[in-house]
Amino acid sequence: MSANTIVNRPLFRLLVPLFVGVAAYFLILLGFDSISRLKENFFGVEVVLCVILSAALMELLRIGLHVIYKRIDNRNYLIGYVVGVEVFAAAGLSLILISAMVSIYYHYLVGFSSFATELIVFNAIYLFVSVAYSTFYVSTVYLSKTNLLAISRETEHQRSVEKELSTYKSLINPSFLYANLERIVVLLHGNSQEAASATQTLSEVYRHVLTARPNSLVSVSSEVEQLIVLAQLLNGASVPRVNVELTGVSNLLPTICMVPSTLHAIVLYLVSQFITEPAQPLRINIFVQDYLLVVEATGVRRLVPLDFSRDDFDVINRAYRYFANQPINVLSEGGSTRILVKLIAVEEQ
């Protein structure tokens, strides 16, 4: 059992025996006498005895139940069996300890030769305490195990998502990369200056990707910077093929974040769906509405979408299912597509 469980905490071990001891003291008094004669047979020392009995019993149960639980924990027994063993063990330990301590108290300190009734009363009360404590103990242990298992599964899920994201970012849209490399090769034979500019822009795009690679989440401003460079690469030095407008996005706080390369994946997905020619440019408007980042695209749809794999977009979408508990929502109608992305707020470090 973890040392952090409540039964092992010093405050619990100090205060609970005190409370139980006082409660047991009053029960014993009420079991022996009427209210008017309580002080005739019991004095202040008895409450101290009850507290000592409670503290000693709970410490014995804490150690004894821990030892017993360790022996039967890994044998795949039913929970009911484990609870039964713990309860009977606690009852046995209680009878032994309470009988011994009460006998010592009455025989040697008080001088009673016959105290069978007192022994029965003490044992009855502390037997109930031991059963309640053992049940609470087992419940705490299984609750702790359940929580640790849930945390372990959640951590494993997060690692899986982050690994998938890392793989995506290291191989971000190879079709897009090869298409731009081919474009640079063509430019080298015609306009070397434009080829150099395209090479520089392509390197900036992937530098942004690699910079964000170690992070699970990045600020919206970082995503916008990457988007601006990507738009420059898509447009080249000629007439714009993709017009990107940003409305109020730059005013977001640094603690408002997104999954890395979200806008990169979304824009490439839109480019694969719409014609991006100077005569028919793709218009993309990005703004914030109801804590959602809205990417609205209008243009002429392609008859056959380009081979910019949707798998990359799906990877980002699965990441949002985990980090934001809400997938990316794509709404298409006619010559427009609206993509809704939930923004993620993180605590400022």
**43, pLDDT greater than 70:** no
Classify residue 260 by its DSSP letter: T
Residues 140-150 have pLDDT tens digits of: 887 887 888 88
Amino acid at 285: N
What is the rounded CA–CA span in Å between residue 326 and residue 290?
Answer: 14
Spell out a b/e string for 4-29, using b for 16 or more CB atoms within 10 Å of the CB, else e: eeebeeeeeeeebbeebbeebbebbb
Question: Helix, strand or coil for residue 201?
Answer: helix
Amino acid at 133: Y
pLDDT band at 119 (very low <50, low <70, confident <90, very high): confident
Mean pLDDT of the chain: 79
**216, pLDDT greater than 60:** yes
Of 7-11, 244-248, 308-312, the least confident = 308-312
Residues 295-347 have pLDDT tens digits of: 999 999 988 887 665 666 777 888 888 788 888 999 988 889 999 999 988 86
Determine the pLDDT at residue 34.
47
What is the rounded CA–CA span in Å between residue 304 and residue 186?
Answer: 24
Determine the pLDDT at residue 44.
63
Determine the pLDDT at residue 239.
64
**94, pLDDT greater than 80:** yes
**Residue % of the chain over a pLDDT of 90:** 6
Classify residue 277 by its DSSP letter: B
Determine the pLDDT at residue 314.
76
- CATH classification code of 171-345: 3.30.565
φ, ψ at 60 (rounded to 5°): -65, -45
Residues 48-83 have pLDDT tens digits of: 888 888 899 888 888 888 888 777 766 666 666 777
pLDDT band at 39 (very low <50, low <70, confident <90, very high): low
* Domain ranges within the chain, ordered by starting residue: 6-160, 171-345
Would you give the distance in Å from CA 105 to the centre of its chain?
52
**7, pLDDT greater than 50:** yes
